Structure 1
Amino acid sequence: MSDIAARTRSERQVWAAPGSSHDRLVRLSSIVLPVAIGVLAAFLVMAPLTMRGDVSFLLDKNKVEVAKERLLIQKALYRGEDGKGQPFALTAGNATQKSSSEPIVKLSELSAAIRLPDGPASLIANQGRYNMTTEQVMMDGPVLFRAANGYRLDTQNSIVDLKTRKLQSGGAVTGTVPQGRFSANAMKADLETHIVTLDGNARLRIVPGRAK
Protein backbone atom coordinates (compact mmCIF):
# COMPACT_ATOMS: atom_id res chain seq x y z
CA MET A 1 0.00 0.00 0.00
CA SER A 2 1.42 3.45 -0.89
CA ASP A 3 2.09 6.14 1.69
CA ILE A 4 -0.72 8.35 0.28
CA ALA A 5 -3.30 5.55 0.48
CA ALA A 6 -2.22 4.67 4.01
CA ARG A 7 -2.42 8.34 5.08
CA THR A 8 -5.99 8.72 3.56
CA ARG A 9 -7.20 5.56 5.28
CA SER A 10 -5.75 6.69 8.58
CA GLU A 11 -7.55 10.07 8.34
CA ARG A 12 -10.90 8.34 7.63
CA GLN A 13 -10.44 6.01 10.57
CA VAL A 14 -9.75 8.93 12.85
CA TRP A 15 -12.88 10.81 11.52
CA ALA A 16 -15.14 7.78 12.13
CA ALA A 17 -13.55 6.66 15.41
CA PRO A 18 -15.69 6.63 18.59
CA GLY A 19 -15.75 10.04 20.25
CA SER A 20 -14.94 11.89 17.04
CA SER A 21 -16.97 14.79 15.69
CA HIS A 22 -18.76 12.51 13.23
CA ASP A 23 -19.67 10.09 16.00
CA ARG A 24 -21.10 12.93 18.08
CA LEU A 25 -23.09 14.21 15.08
CA VAL A 26 -24.64 10.77 14.50
CA ARG A 27 -25.64 10.40 18.17
CA LEU A 28 -27.16 13.89 18.21
CA SER A 29 -29.10 13.22 14.99
CA SER A 30 -30.54 10.00 16.40
CA ILE A 31 -32.14 12.07 19.16
CA VAL A 32 -33.04 15.29 17.36
CA LEU A 33 -34.61 13.78 14.21
CA PRO A 34 -37.23 11.59 15.99
CA VAL A 35 -38.18 14.53 18.20
CA ALA A 36 -38.55 16.79 15.16
CA ILE A 37 -40.70 14.22 13.39
CA GLY A 38 -42.95 13.92 16.45
CA VAL A 39 -43.36 17.68 16.69
CA LEU A 40 -44.21 17.93 12.98
CA ALA A 41 -46.79 15.13 13.24
CA ALA A 42 -48.43 16.80 16.25
CA PHE A 43 -48.61 20.09 14.37
CA LEU A 44 -50.27 18.48 11.36
CA VAL A 45 -52.86 16.84 13.61
CA MET A 46 -53.67 19.97 15.63
CA ALA A 47 -53.50 22.51 12.79
CA PRO A 48 -57.10 21.98 11.54
CA LEU A 49 -58.39 22.48 15.09
CA THR A 50 -56.58 25.77 15.59
CA MET A 51 -57.36 27.33 12.21
CA ARG A 52 -59.92 30.11 12.25
CA GLY A 53 -62.03 31.63 9.52
CA ASP A 54 -64.54 30.34 7.00
CA VAL A 55 -63.82 28.36 3.89
CA SER A 56 -65.70 29.56 0.83
CA PHE A 57 -65.99 28.23 -2.68
CA LEU A 58 -67.89 28.94 -5.87
CA LEU A 59 -70.40 26.43 -7.23
CA ASP A 60 -71.56 26.47 -10.83
CA LYS A 61 -75.30 25.76 -10.76
CA ASN A 62 -75.15 24.56 -14.35
CA LYS A 63 -72.81 21.73 -13.38
CA VAL A 64 -74.60 20.57 -10.23
CA GLU A 65 -76.85 17.53 -10.41
CA VAL A 66 -80.26 18.22 -8.88
CA ALA A 67 -82.29 15.35 -7.44
CA LYS A 68 -85.60 15.01 -9.25
CA GLU A 69 -87.22 13.15 -6.36
CA ARG A 70 -86.94 13.82 -2.66
CA LEU A 71 -88.07 10.37 -1.66
CA LEU A 72 -88.28 7.21 -3.75
CA ILE A 73 -89.57 4.02 -2.15
CA GLN A 74 -89.79 0.56 -3.63
CA LYS A 75 -92.51 -1.83 -2.51
CA ALA A 76 -94.42 0.89 -0.64
CA LEU A 77 -97.33 0.02 1.67
CA TYR A 78 -99.90 2.48 3.08
CA ARG A 79 -102.52 1.44 5.62
CA GLY A 80 -105.60 3.24 6.88
CA GLU A 81 -109.26 2.99 7.86
CA ASP A 82 -112.41 4.26 6.22
CA GLY A 83 -115.13 6.32 7.90
CA LYS A 84 -116.54 3.17 9.52
CA GLY A 85 -113.24 1.91 10.85
CA GLN A 86 -112.80 -0.77 8.19
CA PRO A 87 -109.16 -1.24 7.15
CA PHE A 88 -107.68 -0.77 3.72
CA ALA A 89 -104.16 -1.24 2.35
CA LEU A 90 -102.59 0.46 -0.65
CA THR A 91 -99.45 -1.07 -2.14
CA ALA A 92 -97.23 0.06 -5.01
CA GLY A 93 -94.13 -1.15 -6.80
CA ASN A 94 -92.65 2.37 -6.57
CA ALA A 95 -93.72 5.48 -4.67
CA THR A 96 -92.27 8.95 -5.31
CA GLN A 97 -92.83 12.04 -3.16
CA LYS A 98 -91.33 15.35 -4.31
CA SER A 99 -91.22 17.01 -0.88
CA SER A 100 -92.27 16.31 2.68
CA SER A 101 -94.73 19.23 2.55
CA GLU A 102 -96.55 17.82 -0.48
CA PRO A 103 -99.11 15.13 0.41
CA ILE A 104 -99.28 13.74 -3.14
CA VAL A 105 -97.39 10.48 -3.72
CA LYS A 106 -96.96 9.15 -7.25
CA LEU A 107 -97.50 5.40 -7.44
CA SER A 108 -96.79 2.77 -10.06
CA GLU A 109 -98.04 -0.80 -10.18
CA LEU A 110 -100.56 0.04 -7.49
CA SER A 111 -103.26 -2.09 -5.93
CA ALA A 112 -105.67 -1.47 -3.09
CA ALA A 113 -107.15 -4.13 -0.83
CA ILE A 114 -110.49 -3.16 0.74
CA ARG A 115 -112.57 -5.06 3.24
CA LEU A 116 -116.29 -4.83 2.44
CA PRO A 117 -119.27 -6.26 4.37
CA ASP A 118 -119.68 -9.13 1.88
CA GLY A 119 -115.96 -9.92 1.60
CA PRO A 120 -112.64 -8.55 0.36
CA ALA A 121 -112.31 -6.42 -2.77
CA SER A 122 -109.38 -5.16 -4.81
CA LEU A 123 -108.51 -2.25 -7.08
CA ILE A 124 -105.67 -2.52 -9.60
CA ALA A 125 -104.11 0.17 -11.81
CA ASN A 126 -100.83 0.73 -13.61
CA GLN A 127 -100.14 4.10 -12.03
CA GLY A 128 -101.78 6.84 -10.01
CA ARG A 129 -101.45 9.48 -7.31
CA TYR A 130 -102.31 9.05 -3.66
CA ASN A 131 -103.32 12.05 -1.56
CA MET A 132 -102.35 11.20 2.00
CA THR A 133 -104.48 14.05 3.38
CA THR A 134 -107.78 13.25 1.68
CA GLU A 135 -106.97 9.53 1.22
CA GLN A 136 -108.09 9.66 -2.38
CA VAL A 137 -106.39 7.75 -5.17
CA MET A 138 -106.38 9.24 -8.68
CA MET A 139 -105.68 6.33 -10.99
CA ASP A 140 -104.42 6.83 -14.55
CA GLY A 141 -105.14 4.39 -17.32
CA PRO A 142 -107.09 1.14 -16.98
CA VAL A 143 -108.67 0.46 -13.60
CA LEU A 144 -109.93 -2.94 -12.48
CA PHE A 145 -112.24 -3.47 -9.51
CA ARG A 146 -113.03 -6.97 -8.26
CA ALA A 147 -115.33 -7.87 -5.36
CA ALA A 148 -117.20 -10.83 -3.98
CA ASN A 149 -120.41 -12.22 -5.52
CA GLY A 150 -119.19 -11.59 -9.08
CA TYR A 151 -118.95 -7.79 -9.05
CA ARG A 152 -116.46 -6.50 -11.67
CA LEU A 153 -115.82 -2.98 -12.89
CA ASP A 154 -113.44 -2.07 -15.75
CA THR A 155 -112.94 1.64 -16.34
CA GLN A 156 -110.41 4.39 -17.10
CA ASN A 157 -108.80 7.28 -15.17
CA SER A 158 -110.85 6.94 -12.00
CA ILE A 159 -110.84 8.56 -8.58
CA VAL A 160 -111.36 6.36 -5.54
CA ASP A 161 -112.12 7.76 -2.11
CA LEU A 162 -110.79 5.19 0.33
CA LYS A 163 -112.61 6.88 3.23
CA THR A 164 -116.09 6.72 1.71
CA ARG A 165 -115.43 3.67 -0.57
CA LYS A 166 -116.76 5.53 -3.61
CA LEU A 167 -115.41 5.48 -7.15
CA GLN A 168 -115.91 7.96 -9.98
CA SER A 169 -114.72 7.03 -13.44
CA GLY A 170 -113.12 9.47 -15.83
CA GLY A 171 -113.95 7.50 -18.94
CA ALA A 172 -115.98 4.67 -20.41
CA VAL A 173 -116.87 1.81 -18.11
CA THR A 174 -117.97 -1.79 -18.43
CA GLY A 175 -118.91 -4.10 -15.63
CA THR A 176 -120.50 -7.27 -14.41
CA VAL A 177 -123.02 -7.62 -11.59
CA PRO A 178 -125.07 -10.66 -10.55
CA GLN A 179 -127.96 -9.40 -12.73
CA GLY A 180 -125.89 -9.15 -15.91
CA ARG A 181 -123.48 -6.84 -17.75
CA PHE A 182 -123.54 -3.07 -18.28
CA SER A 183 -121.63 -0.31 -20.04
CA ALA A 184 -121.71 3.51 -20.11
CA ASN A 185 -119.68 6.59 -20.93
CA ALA A 186 -119.09 7.33 -17.23
CA MET A 187 -120.00 5.92 -13.84
CA LYS A 188 -120.24 6.60 -10.14
CA ALA A 189 -120.18 3.62 -7.81
CA ASP A 190 -120.55 2.99 -4.10
CA LEU A 191 -118.16 0.08 -3.69
CA GLU A 192 -119.61 -0.93 -0.34
CA THR A 193 -123.30 -1.07 -1.31
CA HIS A 194 -122.61 -1.99 -4.98
CA ILE A 195 -124.89 0.82 -6.14
CA VAL A 196 -123.77 1.92 -9.62
CA THR A 197 -124.95 5.10 -11.35
CA LEU A 198 -124.38 5.11 -15.11
CA ASP A 199 -124.10 8.29 -17.17
CA GLY A 200 -124.24 8.57 -20.97
CA ASN A 201 -125.10 5.80 -23.39
CA ALA A 202 -125.92 3.46 -20.55
CA ARG A 203 -126.67 -0.13 -21.48
CA LEU A 204 -127.63 -3.04 -19.27
CA ARG A 205 -128.02 -6.62 -20.35
CA ILE A 206 -129.98 -8.55 -17.76
CA VAL A 207 -129.69 -12.29 -17.50
CA PRO A 208 -133.10 -13.81 -16.88
CA GLY A 209 -133.47 -15.44 -13.51
CA ARG A 210 -130.72 -13.36 -11.84
CA ALA A 211 -132.62 -10.11 -11.36
CA LYS A 212 -134.38 -9.63 -8.05
Structure 2
Amino acid sequence: MHTDQVEETEEARTRRRGRERQAAPGGFHDRLIKILAIALPMATGAIVAFLVIAPFSPRSEVSFILDRDKVEQIDERMRIDNATYRGSDNEGRPFSLTAQEAVQQSSAEGIVRLDEVIARILLSDGPARLTAEGGAYKIDEEFLDVNGPVMLRASDGYNLTARGVSVDLREQMLVGSEGVSGAVPAGTFSADSLKVDIETRTITLDGNARLRMVPGALESMQ
Protein backbone atom coordinates (compact mmCIF):
# COMPACT_ATOMS: atom_id res chain seq x y z
CA MET A 1 0.00 0.00 0.00
CA HIS A 2 2.85 2.42 0.84
CA THR A 3 4.46 1.90 -2.60
CA ASP A 4 1.19 2.56 -4.45
CA GLN A 5 0.67 5.76 -2.47
CA VAL A 6 4.16 7.00 -3.41
CA GLU A 7 3.56 6.21 -7.10
CA GLU A 8 0.23 8.02 -7.05
CA THR A 9 1.84 11.02 -5.36
CA GLU A 10 4.59 11.19 -7.95
CA GLU A 11 2.05 10.97 -10.76
CA ALA A 12 0.02 13.80 -9.24
CA ARG A 13 3.16 15.89 -8.92
CA THR A 14 3.98 15.26 -12.59
CA ARG A 15 0.53 16.42 -13.69
CA ARG A 16 0.76 19.46 -11.44
CA ARG A 17 4.16 20.43 -12.87
CA GLY A 18 2.72 20.09 -16.42
CA ARG A 19 -0.16 22.41 -15.57
CA GLU A 20 2.21 24.89 -13.98
CA ARG A 21 4.38 24.94 -17.13
CA GLN A 22 1.30 25.60 -19.31
CA ALA A 23 0.11 28.41 -17.04
CA ALA A 24 3.56 29.99 -16.68
CA PRO A 25 4.19 33.29 -18.60
CA GLY A 26 5.25 32.48 -22.16
CA GLY A 27 3.90 28.96 -21.88
CA PHE A 28 1.56 27.05 -24.13
CA HIS A 29 -1.55 28.63 -22.61
CA ASP A 30 -0.26 32.16 -23.24
CA ARG A 31 0.68 31.32 -26.83
CA LEU A 32 -2.79 29.81 -27.44
CA ILE A 33 -4.53 32.93 -26.06
CA LYS A 34 -2.42 35.20 -28.34
CA ILE A 35 -3.24 33.11 -31.42
CA LEU A 36 -6.99 33.13 -30.66
CA ALA A 37 -6.90 36.89 -30.01
CA ILE A 38 -5.75 37.39 -33.61
CA ALA A 39 -7.65 34.60 -35.35
CA LEU A 40 -11.12 35.12 -33.84
CA PRO A 41 -11.59 38.77 -34.96
CA MET A 42 -10.41 37.83 -38.46
CA ALA A 43 -12.90 34.96 -38.62
CA THR A 44 -15.69 37.21 -37.34
CA GLY A 45 -14.86 39.82 -39.99
CA ALA A 46 -14.93 37.20 -42.73
CA ILE A 47 -18.36 35.97 -41.59
CA VAL A 48 -19.76 39.52 -41.48
CA ALA A 49 -18.37 40.26 -44.96
CA PHE A 50 -19.97 37.10 -46.31
CA LEU A 51 -23.35 38.03 -44.82
CA VAL A 52 -23.15 41.49 -46.40
CA ILE A 53 -22.18 40.20 -49.85
CA ALA A 54 -24.35 37.09 -50.01
CA PRO A 55 -27.97 37.51 -51.24
CA PHE A 56 -30.52 37.30 -48.48
CA SER A 57 -32.91 35.21 -50.56
CA PRO A 58 -32.77 33.20 -53.79
CA ARG A 59 -35.65 35.39 -55.05
CA SER A 60 -33.77 38.68 -54.64
CA GLU A 61 -33.88 40.89 -57.72
CA VAL A 62 -30.83 41.90 -59.70
CA SER A 63 -30.23 45.32 -61.18
CA PHE A 64 -28.42 44.75 -64.47
CA ILE A 65 -27.08 46.89 -67.29
CA LEU A 66 -27.48 45.29 -70.68
CA ASP A 67 -24.30 45.61 -72.69
CA ARG A 68 -24.88 45.24 -76.43
CA ASP A 69 -21.79 43.10 -77.07
CA LYS A 70 -22.47 40.83 -74.11
CA VAL A 71 -26.12 40.36 -74.97
CA GLU A 72 -25.26 39.32 -78.51
CA GLN A 73 -22.95 36.58 -77.21
CA ILE A 74 -25.66 34.85 -75.19
CA ASP A 75 -26.78 31.55 -76.71
CA GLU A 76 -29.61 30.66 -74.33
CA ARG A 77 -32.72 32.35 -72.99
CA MET A 78 -31.92 35.20 -70.63
CA ARG A 79 -34.26 36.81 -68.09
CA ILE A 80 -33.35 39.82 -65.97
CA ASP A 81 -35.36 41.76 -63.39
CA ASN A 82 -34.94 45.54 -63.15
CA ALA A 83 -32.86 45.74 -66.31
CA THR A 84 -31.26 48.93 -67.65
CA TYR A 85 -29.84 49.64 -71.09
CA ARG A 86 -27.86 52.81 -71.86
CA GLY A 87 -27.03 54.24 -75.28
CA SER A 88 -26.77 57.49 -77.23
CA ASP A 89 -28.66 59.06 -80.11
CA ASN A 90 -27.24 60.31 -83.42
CA GLU A 91 -26.05 63.51 -81.74
CA GLY A 92 -24.29 61.69 -78.93
CA ARG A 93 -26.91 62.56 -76.32
CA PRO A 94 -27.44 59.79 -73.75
CA PHE A 95 -30.63 57.82 -73.30
CA SER A 96 -31.62 54.96 -71.05
CA LEU A 97 -34.19 52.20 -71.06
CA THR A 98 -35.32 50.60 -67.83
CA ALA A 99 -37.73 47.70 -67.53
CA GLN A 100 -39.28 45.68 -64.75
CA GLU A 101 -38.35 42.55 -66.68
CA ALA A 102 -36.18 41.86 -69.74
CA VAL A 103 -36.21 38.58 -71.65
CA GLN A 104 -34.08 37.57 -74.63
CA GLN A 105 -34.96 34.28 -76.30
CA SER A 106 -31.65 33.93 -78.18
CA SER A 107 -28.67 35.98 -79.27
CA ALA A 108 -29.46 35.23 -82.93
CA GLU A 109 -32.78 37.04 -82.57
CA GLY A 110 -31.14 40.26 -81.35
CA ILE A 111 -34.32 41.38 -79.57
CA VAL A 112 -34.95 41.95 -75.87
CA ARG A 113 -38.58 41.93 -74.74
CA LEU A 114 -39.26 44.46 -72.00
CA ASP A 115 -42.16 44.80 -69.54
CA GLU A 116 -43.11 48.07 -67.84
CA VAL A 117 -40.55 50.03 -69.81
CA ILE A 118 -39.41 53.63 -69.28
CA ALA A 119 -37.23 55.48 -71.80
CA ARG A 120 -35.41 58.64 -70.72
CA ILE A 121 -33.97 60.86 -73.44
CA LEU A 122 -32.27 64.24 -73.50
CA LEU A 123 -33.60 67.04 -75.71
CA SER A 124 -32.12 70.47 -76.38
CA ASP A 125 -34.55 72.03 -73.89
CA GLY A 126 -34.23 69.36 -71.22
CA PRO A 127 -35.05 65.71 -70.48
CA ALA A 128 -38.11 63.82 -71.67
CA ARG A 129 -39.64 60.54 -70.59
CA LEU A 130 -41.56 57.89 -72.50
CA THR A 131 -43.46 55.11 -70.75
CA ALA A 132 -45.16 51.99 -72.08
CA GLU A 133 -46.54 48.71 -70.80
CA GLY A 134 -43.88 46.85 -72.75
CA GLY A 135 -42.15 46.39 -76.05
CA ALA A 136 -39.56 44.55 -78.11
CA TYR A 137 -36.21 46.32 -78.16
CA LYS A 138 -34.04 45.78 -81.25
CA ILE A 139 -30.52 46.12 -79.94
CA ASP A 140 -28.68 46.87 -83.18
CA GLU A 141 -31.21 49.47 -84.35
CA GLU A 142 -31.93 51.00 -80.91
CA PHE A 143 -35.59 50.71 -81.83
CA LEU A 144 -38.45 49.88 -79.45
CA ASP A 145 -41.62 48.33 -80.87
CA VAL A 146 -44.17 49.33 -78.25
CA ASN A 147 -47.02 47.19 -76.96
CA GLY A 148 -50.07 49.35 -76.30
CA PRO A 149 -49.93 53.11 -75.87
CA VAL A 150 -46.74 55.10 -75.38
CA MET A 151 -46.86 58.28 -73.29
CA LEU A 152 -44.38 61.10 -73.83
CA ARG A 153 -43.82 63.90 -71.33
CA ALA A 154 -41.20 66.61 -71.82
CA SER A 155 -39.69 68.92 -69.21
CA ASP A 156 -41.71 71.90 -70.49
CA GLY A 157 -44.99 70.09 -69.75
CA TYR A 158 -45.67 68.93 -73.32
CA ASN A 159 -47.32 65.51 -73.37
CA LEU A 160 -48.49 63.13 -76.06
CA THR A 161 -50.10 59.70 -76.06
CA ALA A 162 -49.97 57.48 -79.17
CA ARG A 163 -50.98 53.94 -80.07
CA GLY A 164 -49.61 51.71 -82.80
CA VAL A 165 -46.20 53.38 -82.80
CA SER A 166 -42.56 52.53 -82.19
CA VAL A 167 -39.78 54.60 -80.62
CA ASP A 168 -36.65 55.28 -82.66
CA LEU A 169 -34.23 56.22 -79.90
CA ARG A 170 -31.38 56.89 -82.31
CA GLU A 171 -33.43 59.48 -84.24
CA GLN A 172 -35.65 60.55 -81.32
CA MET A 173 -38.78 59.84 -83.34
CA LEU A 174 -42.11 58.11 -82.86
CA VAL A 175 -43.17 56.22 -85.99
CA GLY A 176 -46.10 54.04 -86.97
CA SER A 177 -47.41 52.73 -90.28
CA GLU A 178 -50.22 50.28 -89.54
CA GLY A 179 -52.91 52.61 -88.24
CA VAL A 180 -52.15 55.03 -85.43
CA SER A 181 -54.06 57.21 -83.03
CA GLY A 182 -53.31 59.46 -80.14
CA ALA A 183 -53.82 62.67 -78.25
CA VAL A 184 -52.00 65.92 -77.54
CA PRO A 185 -53.13 68.85 -75.39
CA ALA A 186 -54.70 70.47 -78.47
CA GLY A 187 -56.86 67.47 -79.44
CA THR A 188 -56.89 63.92 -80.78
CA PHE A 189 -55.67 62.43 -84.05
CA SER A 190 -55.67 59.27 -86.15
CA ALA A 191 -54.13 58.21 -89.47
CA ASP A 192 -52.72 55.32 -91.41
CA SER A 193 -49.18 56.36 -90.53
CA LEU A 194 -47.47 58.87 -88.32
CA LYS A 195 -44.12 60.48 -87.57
CA VAL A 196 -43.44 62.53 -84.46
CA ASP A 197 -40.22 64.49 -84.14
CA ILE A 198 -39.82 64.53 -80.37
CA GLU A 199 -37.27 67.35 -80.47
CA THR A 200 -39.45 69.80 -82.43
CA ARG A 201 -42.85 68.38 -81.29
CA THR A 202 -43.83 68.09 -84.97
CA ILE A 203 -46.50 65.51 -85.84
CA THR A 204 -46.85 64.32 -89.44
CA LEU A 205 -49.98 62.31 -90.32
CA ASP A 206 -50.39 60.45 -93.59
CA GLY A 207 -53.35 58.52 -95.02
CA ASN A 208 -56.91 59.03 -93.74
CA ALA A 209 -55.62 61.66 -91.36
CA ARG A 210 -58.15 63.00 -88.88
CA LEU A 211 -57.55 65.65 -86.27
CA ARG A 212 -60.14 66.79 -83.76
CA MET A 213 -59.23 70.01 -82.01
CA VAL A 214 -60.32 70.94 -78.50
CA PRO A 215 -61.82 74.47 -78.54
CA GLY A 216 -59.50 76.94 -76.82
CA ALA A 217 -56.75 74.38 -76.28
CA LEU A 218 -54.19 76.14 -78.48
CA GLU A 219 -54.75 79.47 -76.72
CA SER A 220 -54.37 77.84 -73.30
CA MET A 221 -51.06 76.32 -74.35
CA GLN A 222 -49.52 79.68 -75.30
> In the alignment, is the contact (CA less than 8 A) between 2:164 and 2:181 conserved in 1?
no
Greater CA radius of gyration, 1 or 2?
1
TM-score by length of 2: 0.58
2: distance between equivalents of 1:181 and 1:118?
Answer: 23
Q: Which amino acid aligns with 1:101?
A: A
User: Which residue does the alignment assign to 1:128?
Assistant: 135
> In the alignment, is the contact (CA less than 8 A) between 2:187 and 2:211 conserved in 1?
no
User: Which residue does the alignment assign to 1:159?
Assistant: 166
2: distance between equivalents of 1:86 and 1:160?
Answer: 16
Q: Which amino acid aligns with 1:171?
A: V
**Aligned with 1:198 (options 196, 205, 209):** 205
1: distance between equivalents of 2:99 and 2:131?
Answer: 10
User: Which residue does the alignment assign to 2:51?
Assistant: none
Q: Which amino acid aligns with 2:130?
A: L
2: distance between equivalents of 1:137 and 1:109?
Answer: 13
Paired residues, what number? 141
1: distance between equivalents of 2:181 and 2:217?
Answer: 22
**What are the equivalent positions in structure 2 for 1:1-212 lying under 5 Å apart?**
70-169=77-176, 170-176=179-185, 180-185=186-191, 186-199=193-206, 200-205=209-214, 207=217, 209=219
2: distance between equivalents of 1:211 and 1:126?
Answer: 28
> In the alignment, is the contact (CA less than 8 A) between 2:113 and 2:135 conserved in 1?
yes
> In the alignment, is the contact (CA less than 8 A) between 1:173 and 1:187 conserved in 2?
no
Q: CA deviation at 1:147?
A: 0.8
Q: CA deviation at 1:211?
A: 7.5
Q: Which amino acid aligns with 2:82?
A: K
Tell me the secondary structure at the aligned position of residue 202 of structure 1: strand
Give the unaligned 5+ runs of structure 2.
1-75
Tell me the secondary structure at the aligned position of residue 101 of structure 1: coil
2: distance between equivalents of 1:182 and 1:71?
Answer: 39
2: distance between equivalents of 1:121 and 1:181?
Answer: 21
Tell me the secondary structure at the aligned position of residue 156 of structure 2: helix
Q: CA deviation at 1:193?
A: 1.4
When residues 74 and 196 of structure 1 are mapped into structure 2, their CA distance, relative to the original with a 3 A threshold, is: same
